[in-house]
Structure 1
Amino acid sequence: MTVELSPDDATDPGLSPLRNFGNEVMLERTRMNMSRVELGRAVACGESLVAKIERGDRVPQREFAEGCDQVFPHGNGRFMRLWRLALRYAYPPWFWPYVALEKKATGLRMFNPVVAPGIVQTRSYATAILKEGRPKGLEDLVTARLERQQILQREEPTGLWLVLHERVLRNVVGSEEIMREQLLRLLQIAETSTHRVQIIRDEGRYRGPVGAAPFVLMSFEEGADVVHVDGFPRGYVLAEQDEVADAEDAYDLLRALAMPLEESAELINSVLKECYS
């Protein structure tokens, strides 16, 4: 027999956004005399996941929130609004400013010499990458990372320009099947009219800023560009005009060193067939 705890007091100001989301789900579900099994069936997930979400132990996926707004008669978009707040709990606090900027950006120019950036990672690739750090809440981190990709799918998508080193294509993350899926994803991005993908060939020698840390230049409809640089244990944002100008010069050089767009796509396809078919 499953024991269900009573919902927390929804007026408690100490509830986190994540716990508040779960509490609202439990309130609506019990109001409708619906079991967790029934709710899970309605929103395409298991009973155990519903229980974890109600306890505030898991960050729900977008589809769960959308499903709740459809299942509960008085949802009226409330669960999507609560979900956007709850999602913040899946990110480290230091990463919140970057996510907010990324969501507002009209253009992203990214460089990575080692792995595919999170903004284009498949679920299995993201899981394999994040798992290496043995984090707490792995599934929540994956959910949050994939949610960031919504900016590439909205009605007016953020324009993406990727410059990647060839090692990104050949460094096996997880398994050959995971790599096959990820390279197909890169090809899809490369063939989308609003996005660009360029590859820097691995010629076995140092070339200009190729040894630089991963970074992204973010452009906006209003306001100056900013730069985010990946680092350990955390990344950081640069907004000073001189620093942004240096990053733009570095990115221009990287694009000049990279293969043309069509040749880059051909290389991705070639590595896909050679290594992961």
Structure 2
Amino acid sequence: MTTDHLGNAENLDPYSSPKTFFGAELRRLREAAGLTQHQLGERVFCSRDYISRFESASRRPQPEVSRLLDEVLGSGEHLQRLCRLARLSKHPDYFADAADLEKHAATIGEYAPMLVPGLLQTEAYARALTRAAQLFAPEEAVEERVTGRMERKRLLDEPSAPELWVVIHEAALRIPVGGPGMMNEQLQDLRAVGHDHHRVVVQVLPFEAGAPAFLNGTVIQMTFADAPPVTYTESAYTGQLIDEPALVAQYQKAYDLIRAAALSPQASLALIESVAKDYTTP
């Protein structure tokens, strides 16, 4: 028997997290069944790469795939129960898979039409947004979301931080989330990150650029050193992770056109600073 494309699965500590335990158990059950990753992938209608990433804990397990794995491997509901544990997250469920992939990305490109991107939000801005979106949620639920977003933001301080290139529509600068003082703080922080962080590029798509390819939805493009690129799209209370190559390529072309239509990074930072000052003017 061969065990093709193990990745880092052999070196994982299975007890470090529910996700690594799921990966270790999947590998144990697969090898006990005498199946390669490719053979198992064929039986559960996914690629060898997916099986490899589940086993190496570089991607969160999926409920439907876990059900099929239990059926093929004769493991009852063992992997489905582990899947539920591995999918617990401080992020909304529709975004949690994308948040997990961000940690492994080599590059992240984001278009934000109405709001400052999550990776660049201040805590006060994130809290105001979360409270507006979850108007009747208990305070602890709001704070859990804010904590998750701030933890996600720390990714940019890691030695292996991805290159982040964001294009923000001018509308996002002018929607007064939380009031003028909070917006001034957010925009000053955004300008500082765009100016000082060596792995972050910020551009603004001005109103005069006209209608962009993505008019009203957030789009995030992620590339990886050892995996195909993916696209994540989001609108209110829902999101979708896309890995179909032709569709990902189509999104990438549209994102490139938006980036080309945006102001230069230097002009963008100047506009951000100008709008920030507007929030301090009576």
Counterpart position of 1:230: 234
Given the superposition, is the C-alpha separation of residues 94 and 171 from structure 1 closer, same or farther in structure 2, using an over 3 Å criterion? closer
Task: Provide the TM-score with structure 1 as the length reference.
Answer: 0.65
| Kept after mapping to 1: 8 A contact 2:181/2:279 | no
1:213 to 2:217 alignment: yes
Counterparts of 1:255 and 1:89, CA distance in 2: 32
Counterparts of 1:238 and 1:87, CA distance in 2: 18
SS in 1 for 2:217: coil
Counterpart position of 1:143: 147
Give 1:164's aligned amino acid: I
Q: Deviations for 1:40-99, whole angstroms, at most 9, x for unmatched residues?
A: xxxxxxxxxxxxxxxxxxxxxxxxxxxxxxxxxxxxxxxxxxxxx899442233332112
Give 2:278's aligned amino acid: E
Give 2:124's aligned amino acid: S
Counterpart position of 1:197: 202
Counterpart position of 2:247: 243
Counterparts of 1:250 and 1:224, CA distance in 2: 18
Counterparts of 1:255 and 1:228, CA distance in 2: 17
Structure 1 segment 177-196 matched on structure 2, within 5 A: 177-191=181-195, 192-196=197-201
Counterparts of 1:157 and 1:130, CA distance in 2: 25
| Kept after mapping to 1: 8 A contact 2:202/2:265 | yes
1:155 to 2:159 alignment: yes
| Kept after mapping to 2: 8 A contact 1:119/1:145 | yes
Runs of 4+ in 1 over 3 A off after TM superposition: 85-89
Give 1:95's aligned amino acid: F
Gaps of 5+ in 1: 1-16, 18-84
| Kept after mapping to 1: 8 A contact 2:114/2:216 | no
SS in 2 for 1:208: coil
Counterparts of 1:129 and 1:165, CA distance in 2: 17
Task: Provide the TM-score with structure 2 as the length reference.
Answer: 0.64
Compute the displacement of 1:231 (Å).
2.6
SS in 1 for 2:279: helix
Aligned length: 193
Give 1:104's aligned amino acid: H
Compute the displacement of 1:222 (Å).
0.8
| Kept after mapping to 1: 8 A contact 2:89/2:96 | no
Compute the displacement of 1:207 (Å).
2.3
Give 1:243's aligned amino acid: L
CA RMSD of aligned residues (A): 2.0
Counterparts of 2:202 and 2:218, CA distance in 1: 15
Counterpart position of 1:100: 100
In the alignment, which of 238, 252, 255 is matched to residue 256 of structure 2? 252
Identity of aligned residues (%): 32
Q: Deviations for 1:248-274, whole angstroms, at most 9, x for unmatched residues?
A: 101110011100111111111111122
